[in-house]
Amino acid sequence: MRKLVSLLVIIVFLVACNNKPKENTSIQLSEEKPEYALVIHGGAGNVTPERIGPEKEKEYRAKLQEALDLGIDLLKKDSSAVAVVEAVIHVLENSPLFNAGKGAVFNSQGQNEMDASIMEGKTLNAGAVASVSRIKNPISAARLVLDKSPHVLLVREGAIQFAKENGMEMVDSNYFFTQERWESLQKLQGKVEKYGTVGCVALDRQGNIAAGTSTGGMTNKKYGRVGDSPIIGAGTYANNATCGVSCTGHGEFFMRYNVAYDVSARMKYAHQSLNEAAEGIINELALIKGSGGLIALDGKGNICMPFNTNGMFRGFAKSTGENKVLVFKDK
Ligand code: ASP
């Protein structure tokens, strides 16, 4: 009898241990499953209050808020996740604040070479463009590849020609000139730096997830260098069965570690939660000095935004009313 009681005590203890809530640092203000949800980023890096200053910080927060508000409004009106991702990224690409579209950084030859990708979690269809110039909104060119071509990735003149043929808005290269980015190139002298890529992941009312990323890459990158942002599985990934992910950071690491897909794979094969999966890979990258972060969202509307840098421009909103923009470690 005593043995039986001890056995029961051990079993109860083991069950209790197993049910212990897993460590969860994702922002989960409400337990309620949202009808729709949205998460965005404007790049990770050496983002500190001292480096940015209060005025610029205000501008960043306002632009991120504008993008979030547009996205949540579209989701409320039943827009598809992929349309929302494109529209939200437009807002960020059209701002000189971020390293994408208008604010794209310069490569070592003083040119802008932009990369973008977008993916649908329902069909696993994806579209991407790499090393493009003159296309005002590279994320729309990526969407065009997704919708109107049998391919996933088009590069350089081929991508530009395809965008032109399909009536995409083209601009003169001067459109992408910003004094600040030009000065950053002059200052770097041989080094490369990353900062300010943009991304968005949305969950729509139909339960579909989409993810997109757009970037100018890294300041002073070699002519012809392509980063993780247009590579499906590295910088962007979406699968309704697991999650949607958009990454930002030192692209070479994100490519080598297949970071966006890795989050999904950890969920699918190791049965990790979104949070465990996303934080796990970002912590692993930190160990090998792969700096950056990501935003991710699963089918239940859980959101997480881990990064291993000083800060990451980011924000999220849900149908349940939560709506927040963050820049530094905890605010
Ligand atoms: N991941 C981008 C790249 O390597 C840069 C960034 O996110 O800041 O091209």
- Please write down the HEC assignment for all residues of the chain: CHHHHHHHHHHHHHHHHHCCCCCCCCCCCCCCCCCCEEEEEEEEECCCHHHHCHHHHHHHHHHHHHHHHHHHHHHHCCCCHHHHHHHHHHHHHCCCCCCCHHHCCCCCCCCCCEEEEEEECCCCCEEEEEEECCECCHHHHHHHHHHHCCCCEEEHHHHHHHHHHCCCCECCHHHHCCHHHHHHHHHHCCCCEECCCEEEEEECCCCCEEEEEEECCEECCCCCCCCCCCCECCCEEECCCCEEEEEEECHHHHHHCCHHHHHHHHHHHHCCCHHHHHHHHHHHHHHCCCCEEEEEEECCCCEECCECCCEEEEEEEECCCCEEEECCCCC
**Does the beta carbon of 246 lie inside 6 Å of ligand 1?**
no
Number of domains within the chain = 1
pLDDT of residue 190: 65
Rounded to whole angstroms, the Cα distance separating 302 from 308 reads 20
Q: Ligand 1: does its nearest atom lie under 6 Å from the Cβ of 42? A: no
Q: Which domain holds residue 9?
A: 2-328
The CA 209 to ligand 1 mean position distance, Å, reads: 22
Q: What is the pLDDT of residue 24?
A: 37
Q: Would you say the CB of residue 248 lies under 6 angstroms from ligand 1?
A: yes
Please give the average pLDDT of every successive group of 10 residues along the chain, which has 331 residues: 56 43 45 91 93 94 98 98 98 96 92 97 98 97 98 98 97 88 76 79 98 96 96 98 98 98 98 98 97 97 96 97 93 64
User: Distance, CA 66 to ligand 1 centroid (Å)?
Assistant: 23
For residue 155, the cross-strand partners are 130
Question: Rounded distance, CA 57 to CA 97, Å?
Answer: 10
Residue 173, domain CATH: 3.60.20.30
Catalytically annotated residues? 197
The Å distance, Cα 214 to ligand 1 centre, comes to 9
C-alpha neighbours within 13 Å on the C-beta side of residue 320: 14
Nearest-CA residue for atom 7 of ligand 1: 248
Residue 248 CA: nearest ligand 1 atom is 7
Centre of ligand 1 from the C-alpha of residue 153, in Å:
17
pLDDT at 2: 61
| Residue of 194, 200, 294 best suited for mutating to test ligand 1, as the one with most atoms within 8 Å of CB | 194
Atom nearest to 99 CA in ligand 1? 8
Q: What is the pLDDT of residue 192?
A: 63
Q: Determine the pLDDT at residue 178.
A: 86
Structure tokens at 89: 């990224």
What is the residue with the minimal CA distance to atom 9 of ligand 1? 217
